[in-house]
Amino acid sequence: MSESHPDTESSPTSAVSQKSLTIKSGSPLPLGAWVVPGGVNFALFSRHATSVELLLYDSPDDPYPSLTIKLDPVFNRTGEIWHVRVMGIGPGSCYAYRVDGPYRPRDGLRFNRFKVLVDPYATALTGVSEYDFDRARGYDPDSPLKDLSFSTEDNAPYVAKGIVAVRDFDWQDDRLPAHPWSRTIIYETHVRGLTIHPSSGVRYPGTYRGLIEKIPYFKELGITAIELLPVHEFNENEIKRVNPLDGSRLRNYWGYNPLGFFAPKETYASRGRGQQVAEFKEMVRALHAADIEVILDVVFNHTAEGDETGPTLSFRGIENPVYYLLEDDKRRYKNFSGCGNTLNCNHPVVRELILDCLRHWVTEMHVDGFRFDLAAILGRDESGNITPNAPLLERIAEDPILRGVKLIAEAWDAGGAYMVGCFPGLHWSEWNGRYRDEVRRFWRGDRGMLGLFASRLCGSADIYQHSGRAPLNSINFITCHDGFTLRDLVSYERKHNEANGEGNRDGSDVNFSCNYGVEGETDDPSINAVRLRQMKNMIATLLLSRGVPMILGGDEFGRTQRGNNNAYCQDNETSWYDWRLLERNRELFRFVRKMIAFRNDHGVLRRERFYTEAEVSWFDANGNYPQWNGPERALACLIRDLESARGDLYLMFNAEEHSVQFTVPPPAGAQPWRIVINTGAPAPYDAPDSGREPVFNGQVFELVPRSLVVLERPGHSG
């Protein structure tokens, strides 16, 4: 392709314009802004655009560009990709676009030359937190269509900008830990919330570097992977509501409203603008050095642009009908995400964007895996229907780069799709929502739960085995960011989301929780004893179950959100980790740490296949075969480790409100049973240190109300 020199507009005082710049036609690939010898190549996809302008800025704080380059549709366009190469600039350059074309909402086209737009492929953004979404909106509330109007207000002073990122980084021979699923224990947490509280004791609170400072804690606990709530760029200040209880401004805390899929969150960096890419890499490098994997919670189901009343920030103004699923009335957006719009994930262009993004985070940022928010949407076709063998899901699972990383699906969406157990592709693991609900129900004391509880303990064969899957396809969890914390699960019978400003209508009404006599915090020692025992019961169940355990960060020391089960907008002490609780609840922390170690020491609990009949036998409290659908709330099982010398385990679960006597079979060998876990006993006897486990020689073991006990018969040595 021949080189061209498009028309340029610039301010005579700008530093960019004073440089010796040469403008060339450039290359259509790769998309985004990439440093090339002597300059930067910019490439942007837009099918229906009639005009594209590249805006260059002297600094992130400049309200207007120093140089505007009008791309020539003859020399700066290949197919549907607009491109230009600017010689004389390099890493750190700030840029954005204006894209013009037809404004015909009835056809799904919403081009607006007055709106400055973010590059969907930008690998770093700046100023997102100051981005004035309302200035980008142009919504006419008096319009009978209740739709975006064609706004002539120039949003240039209020927008975010892309940064040409520095790619050079000293990874110091970094290697992915590559833990097998059988050795994986996931800790779900939030970069900011983990250390922003004054009690965290870190030098760089609320940042990637602050998370690095907590690595010794993670090592002490024993987890192998950190799953981070979204770090893709989002605007935490987009919410206009206030907390009706105290008048404080609400903020987008969780970050499930992405603006830049390739760009790590700028405000999570401690060193100021433009440093987020390097600091994120430093965090990954440090975690890998500690043998801890990094899993990102990614949101490829919708964007921050919302529905037809939302702002024009990027995708809408670049190629609206390609990037989004639209209704038959193309003014409207299909909304399977519950957030106003739905990405058109199986359109070839969008599919490539997602694949390019995932590869970028693996190859450039060295992450170890992804948890896909509302992943059922990734299986919807361009009409919004769930399709078998969805192209995107198959491409991700079979991609030569992505096939080796951890892939976790939240296998449902807000449009009613629920695909737990039938998510396409054997390489996908799934958040097992049934595990969460049915383990909660068993320990709450619901009747008729024995069979379901036993299935969850054994890896959920009833959900996964029929399709050729294994326990590793089940991500087991009791709590996650979305819902009650573990402490709140045993302290509240109903949600308390009044502070969210939505009249307590938001958040799930189905929590399978119990307060054991008092709603919320109490000084009653008997109630607190039951609550502590129940937290231990659920943590122990999680770590005794086949499958992959995930712990919600802070549950190990009793973090509370005061009954708020949807704290997405609570960037305050409601959500922040109060590390003072670690000292107050050392008994719980010790128990969680000991249970993780117990799981690691017993391969029979971690194997990546389902139990055989020879390996597990089930009993009721009297030693008989259980009535799976009966009213009893007590269950026992004998687990035989036929592949190692560890010996047998006898597990007893009492979810009754009274003590239950369990008949215990005699140990198979000469060695007596030892009591290795007992949630009904005070610390340290709830999880005794190795070599200090009490011996049990009896035939009947009495479990106190709502408790579990694990007996172990030592195996032979050698």
Residues 52 and 152 in one domain: yes
Average pLDDT over residues 552-572: 98
Residues 141 and 219 in one domain: no
Average pLDDT over residues 216-224: 98
- Quickly tell me which residue has 């198979």 as its tokens: 668
E-strand stretches of 418-460: 429-431
Average pLDDT over residues 608-624: 97
Residues 34 and 115 in one domain: yes
CATH of the domain at 33: 2.60.40.10
Residues 238 and 155 in one domain: no
Residues 265 and 379 in one domain: yes
First to last CA, the chain: 71
Average pLDDT over residues 326-340: 95
Which tens digit of pLDDT belongs to each residue from 208-218? Answer: 999 999 999 99
Tell me if 586 is assigned to some domain. Answer: no
pLDDT at site 548: 98
Q: CA-CA distance, 211 to 202, in Å (whole number)?
A: 9
Does residue 717 have a pLDDT over 70? no
Tell me if 48 is assigned to some domain. Answer: yes
Q: Which one, of 39, 41, 35, lies nearest residue 54 by Cα? A: 41
Does residue 146 have a pLDDT over 80? no
Does residue 222 have a pLDDT over 80? yes
Does residue 143 have a pLDDT over 80? no
pLDDT at site 357: 98
Q: Which one, of 217, 185, 181, 180, lies nearest residue 543 by Cα? A: 185
Burial degree of 99 (CB within 10 A; 0-12, 13-18, 19+): buried
Residues 192 and 305 in one domain: yes
Q: Which two tokens stand for residue 533?
A: 């025992």
Which tens digit of pLDDT belongs to each residue from 246-264? Answer: 999 999 999 999 999 999 9
Which tens digit of pLDDT belongs to each residue from 585-606? Answer: 999 999 999 999 999 999 999 9
Burial degree of 220 (CB within 10 A; 0-12, 13-18, 19+): exposed
The total number of residues shown for the chain amounts to 718
Q: Which residues are catalytic?
A: 373, 410
Determine the structural domain holding residue 370 and report its residue range: 185-431
Q: What is the pTM of this model?
A: 0.95
Does residue 694 have a pLDDT over 80? yes
In this prediction, what percent of the chain has a pLDDT beyond 90? 86
The domain total for the chain is 3
Q: CA-CA distance, 635 to 656, in Å (whole number)?
A: 10
- Of 335-339, 471-475, 713-717, which gets the smallest average pLDDT? 713-717
**Final residue belonging to a domain, choices 431, 461, 488:** 431
The alpha carbon dihedral of 318, 324, 330, 332 has a sign of: negative
Which tens digit of pLDDT belongs to each residue from 28-50? Answer: 999 999 999 999 999 999 999 99
Q: Using DSSP bridges, classify how beta strands 548-552 and 186-189 pair: parallel, antiparallel or unpaired.
A: parallel
Does residue 6 have a pLDDT over 80? no
30 preceded by a cis bond (ω within 30 of 0): yes
pLDDT at site 2: 34
Tell me if 655 is assigned to some domain. Answer: yes
Tell me if 241 is assigned to some domain. Answer: yes
CATH of the domain at 282: 3.20.20.80
- Binning pLDDT at 50, 70 and 90, where does residue 673 land? very high
Q: CA-CA distance, 316 to 312, in Å (whole number)?
A: 6
More confident residue, 17 or 563: 563
Which tens digit of pLDDT belongs to each residue from 104-116? Answer: 999 999 999 999 9
In this prediction, what percent of the chain has a pLDDT beyond 70? 95
pLDDT at site 142: 53
Residues 266 and 339 in one domain: yes
Tell me if 119 is assigned to some domain. Answer: yes
pLDDT at site 718: 35
Does residue 130 have a pLDDT over 50? yes
Residues 232 and 381 in one domain: yes
Which residues lie below 8 Å from residue 328, measured CB to CB, with a gap of 6+? none
Tell me if 192 is assigned to some domain. Answer: yes
Which tens digit of pLDDT belongs to each residue from 164-187? Answer: 998 899 999 999 999 999 999 999
**Final residue belonging to a domain, choices 431, 466, 484:** 431
Q: What is the largest CA-CA distance in the chain?
A: 92
Q: Which helix (H) or strand (E) holds 541?
A: helix 525-544
Q: CA-CA distance, 534 to 356, in Å (whole number)?
A: 44
Does residue 294 have a pLDDT over 50? yes
Q: Which amino acid is at 151?
A: S
pLDDT at site 7: 42
Average pLDDT over residues 115-121: 97
CB atoms within 10 A of CB 629: 12
Q: What is the 3-state secondary structure (H, E, C) of 66-97?
A: CEEEECCCCCCEECCEEEEEEECECCCCEEEE
Over the Cα atoms of the chain, what is R_g? 28
Does residue 4 have a pLDDT over 90? no
Q: CA-CA distance, 571 to 325, in Å (whole number)?
A: 31
Average pLDDT over residues 613-623: 97
- Quickly tell me which residue has 């007992």 as its tokens: 678
pLDDT at site 484: 98
Q: What is the dihedral of CA 304, 308, 309, 314, to 10 degrees?
A: 40
Which tens digit of pLDDT belongs to each residue from 403-428? Answer: 999 999 999 998 999 999 989 888 99
Tell me if 583 is assigned to some domain. Answer: no
Which tens digit of pLDDT belongs to each residue from 446-459? Answer: 999 999 999 999 99
Whole-number average pLDDT of the chain: 93
**Degrees (nearest 5) of the Cα angle 423, 424, 426?**
95
E-strand stretches of 616-712: 616-619, 634-639, 649-654, 660-663, 673-678, 695-696, 700-703, 707-712
Q: Which one, of 289, 279, 291, 129, lies nearest residue 210 by Cα? A: 279
More confident residue, 138 or 252: 252
pLDDT at site 153: 84
Residues 190 and 255 in one domain: yes
Q: Which one, of 442, 437, 435, lies nearest residue 475 by Cα? A: 435
Average pLDDT over residues 131-145: 62
Average pLDDT over residues 325-350: 96
Residues 329 and 426 in one domain: yes
pLDDT at site 687: 98
Distances (CA, A) of 648 to 224, 540, 699: 26, 17, 16
CATH of the domain at 695: 2.60.40.1180
Tell me if 675 is assigned to some domain. Answer: yes
Average pLDDT over residues 354-367: 98
Q: Which two tokens stand for residue 198?
A: 């004054």
Residues 318 and 211 in one domain: yes
pLDDT at site 166: 87
- Of 195-204, 245-254, 352-361, 662-671, which gets the smallest average pLDDT? 662-671
Q: Which amino acid is at 397?
A: A
Which tens digit of pLDDT belongs to each residue from 64-107? Answer: 999 999 999 999 999 999 999 999 999 999 999 999 999 999 99
Which residues lie below 8 Å from residue 62, measured CB to CB, with a gap of 6+? 94
Residues 225 and 297 in one domain: yes
**Final residue belonging to a domain, choices 367, 402, 431:** 431
Which residues lie below 8 Å from residue 562, measured CB to CB, with a gap of 6+? 488, 496, 520, 574
Write phi, then psi, for 218 (nearest 5 degrees).
Answer: -60, -40
Q: Which one, of 638, 318, 587, 219, lies nearest residue 457 by Cα? A: 638
More confident residue, 287 or 716: 287
Which residues lie below 8 Å from residue 625, measured CB to CB, with a gap of 6+? 618, 619
E-strand stretches of 283-384: 293-298, 369-372
Q: CA-CA distance, 291 to 215, in Å (whole number)?
A: 10
